[in-house]
Amino acid sequence: MNKKILLIILISLVLMTGFTKISTKPQDLYRVYLKGKSIGLIDSKKELEDFIDEKQNEIKEKYHVKKVYVPADLDIVKETTFDRNIKTIEEIYEEIKDISPFTINGYIVKIKGIDSQEAETGKTITGETIIIYVTDKEVFNNSIQKTVRSFISDYDLNNYANQTQKPIEDVGTIIENVYIKNKITIKKGLIPVNKTIYQTEEELSKFLLFGTTEDQQKYVIQAGDTINDVAFNNRISTQEFLIANPELQNENSLLSPGQVVTLGILKPQFSLVEQDQVVFHEEKNYATETRYDNDKYVGWEETLQYGVKGENKVTQVILKVNGVITSRTTTNTETIKEPIDEIIIKGGKQSAYYGWGSALPSSGEWGWPATCSSISSPFGWRWGSLHDGTDIAGCGYGSNIFAAQSGTVVVSEKKTGWYSGGYGDNGEYIIIDHHNGYYSLYAHMCPGCRSVQVGDYVDKGQPIGGMGMTGAATGVHLHFAIWYGYPYHGGEPLNAMQFY
């Protein structure tokens, strides 16, 4: 290449790049990266940090902190360079202040293994992790304690903690264990100020209990309202209502017209497990023996011997999660009084005009469907989902399940998984049509325990299967439901306890 042309090119490059910007000696500077992209060089890392701290008095006042730090995605890296194209601290500050949030010292709390429920299906989703930011570790610790006391009374919790519970002499309850099921970690660190940062116990306790800090729905009490009615009509459980309104002692507390109450659907952010031992007296159901008199027509019935219930003394271990009973296990049963069986004589002679209608069940009282009477979860709303039956537990694995009323078996199958039509995960279950508009459902039977098939006619009190925990069941129990109309297909679920 012509030397003259080469000289011209070199002179042009010098003019373009700025000869004065290139040092003949390398300098120690600091390159600033925002979100991984270089935004310039500065002379001093400390000057930038101090400038940010000086400018952010509003953040200091809001969070009651003494110092504000650079954004979490801002990196300041020392660099030895010939480049002297240096930006001022003010230029860098203006470039980052509206892009990335500044940070403050605080605590990062992780709660792992959170269970939540889909409101529409009630399906449980497990294994979620939530992150909570607090300025003071004690705010979190105190909020946890306050939330725990929403599910366990101060009196019971203090007696458990201080080992001053009175022993059970005949009947009663004692707490055997209380613990939080989730793994919780607390780590000190820098928190971006665009996150929700909790500074008070009241605010954080509200989030831990309801999953939000937004105000809960309010309701003005009308004449004649009861706590149970207000809770059910607003799709929450009585327990949820009482937790949201701690000034009310129990479900029998009086309400006044015009009184404003809170309607909060609980969404606890941790799982508090309470293990209790409970001892109580329980009626022991009598068996019903059916005999047939072939000299009498079908439809005739006479009670030869009336049944008399016995009495048992039962010891159970009860597990509660966030105040809701999830399982009952009977550890001991002592018979105090044996029952006397009932004997019924029915006509066995067929009439020439006998038809299906003559075999319809009577409108008499319904029979209890299990060998025990402990209810682990009642009918009603719970955490935004309707529990459409009554859970009966404590009878023992494989214990008899009885037809609550006479009728025809219309379903006898195993159904697992969540699917359309409204069914949950019932496991092994049976549905009986009682031919008077009512249907009864028996779910979570043990594998292979169903003793009746579709089309079978069953009598009230007849064994139809055994208690188990198939499907979505955390413990051995019977999910017993009474519907008016076919279950999940146009029928209406009813509180079975109104029939007893």
Question: Do 301 and 234 share a domain, yes or no?
Answer: no
Domain assignment present for 130? yes
Does 48 score more than 90 pLDDT? yes
Q: How many domains does the chain have?
A: 3
Question: Do 85 and 38 share a domain, yes or no?
Answer: yes
Query: Which domain CATH number covers 114?
Result: 3.10.350.10
**Which pLDDT band, with edges at 50, 70 and 90, does 354 fall under?**
very low
Does 19 score more than 60 pLDDT? no
pLDDT tens digit string along 61-76? 999 999 999 999 999 9
Question: Do 247 and 292 share a domain, yes or no?
Answer: no
Lowest mean pLDDT segment, chosen from 113-127, 186-200, 275-289, 389-403? 113-127
Domain assignment present for 250? yes
- Nearest 5°: CA angle at 201, between 195 and 205? 80
Domain assignment present for 15? no
Question: Do 456 and 479 share a domain, yes or no?
Answer: yes
- How are beta strands 124-134 and 197-198 bridged, if at all? parallel
Domain assignment present for 118? yes
**Which pLDDT band, with edges at 50, 70 and 90, does 364 fall under?**
low
Question: Do 469 and 332 share a domain, yes or no?
Answer: yes
Question: Do 412 and 289 share a domain, yes or no?
Answer: yes
Question: Do 309 and 373 share a domain, yes or no?
Answer: yes
Domain assignment present for 427? yes
Domain assignment present for 368? yes
| d(C-alpha 380, C-alpha 232), whole Å | 7
The pLDDT of residue 125 is: 56
Question: Do 258 and 343 share a domain, yes or no?
Answer: no
Question: Do 210 and 349 share a domain, yes or no?
Answer: no
Strands (E) across 350-491 are located at: 375-377, 380-382, 385-387, 390-393, 400-402, 407-415, 427-433, 438-445, 457-458, 463-466, 477-484
**Which pLDDT band, with edges at 50, 70 and 90, does 106 fall under?**
very high
| Domain that residue 45 falls in | 25-100
Question: Do 201 and 349 share a domain, yes or no?
Answer: no
> What mean pLDDT is predicted for residues 6-12?
47
**DSSP-derived secondary structure letter, 446:** P
Regarding predicted confidence, which is higher, 371 or 179? 179
Asked which of 225, 246, 263 is the last residue of a domain, the reply is: 263
Domain assignment present for 6? no
Query: Which domain CATH number covers 384?
Result: 2.70.70.10
Question: Do 124 and 68 share a domain, yes or no?
Answer: no
**DSSP-derived secondary structure letter, 86:** B
- What's the token pair of residue 112? 């792992």
Asked which of 100, 126, 148 is the last residue of a domain, the reply is: 100
Does 22 score more than 70 pLDDT? no
Asked which of 54, 73, 100 is the last residue of a domain, the reply is: 100
Domain assignment present for 12? no
* Sequence-separated (6 or more) residues with CB below 8 Å from residue 145: none
Question: Do 71 and 151 share a domain, yes or no?
Answer: no
pLDDT tens digit string along 299-327? 888 999 999 999 999 999 999 999 988 88
Q: What is the pTM of this model?
A: 0.77
